[in-house]
């Protein structure tokens, strides 16, 4: 997975610039931050995630915050 968004991993959370529906900067909670890191590190794919983690990952794809393909 890859993203075109600028993001910051600090103080235990991931922050995604312009990641909100109106272009706000969003802070992911601890669980979502973990999923984000794993997806971008290509340790896992959205299809492999279950439950709310999977839903979260798929929502990132739907909104275009995450894109298929290898990260840079």
Torsion angle of the four alpha carbons 21, 22, 25, 28, in this order, in degrees rounded to the nearest 10: -20
Say which DSSP state 10 is in: E
**Residues present in the chain in total:** 72
Instruction: Tell me the closest approach of the beta carbon of residue 7 to other proteins, in angstroms.
Output: 7
Output 21 or 47, the one with its CB closest to other proteins: 21
Instruction: Tell me the closest approach of the beta carbon of residue 48 to other proteins, in angstroms.
Output: 26
Contact footprint for other proteins (CB under 8 A): 5-13, 15, 17-18, 22-25, 27, 29-30
Instruction: Tell me the closest approach of the beta carbon of residue 47 to other proteins, in angstroms.
Output: 27
H helix or E strand, kind and range, residue 16: strand 13-16
């Amino acid at each position: 997975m890859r993203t075109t968004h600028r993001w910051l991993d600090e103080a235990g959370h991931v922050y995604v610039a312009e990641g909100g529906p109106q272009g706000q900067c969003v802070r992911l909670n601890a669980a979502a931050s973990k999923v984000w890191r794993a997806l971008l590190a290509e340790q896992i794919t959205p299809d492999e995630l279950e439950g709310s983690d999977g839903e979260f990952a798929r929502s990132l794809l739907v909104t275009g915050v995450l894109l298929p393909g290898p990260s840079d």
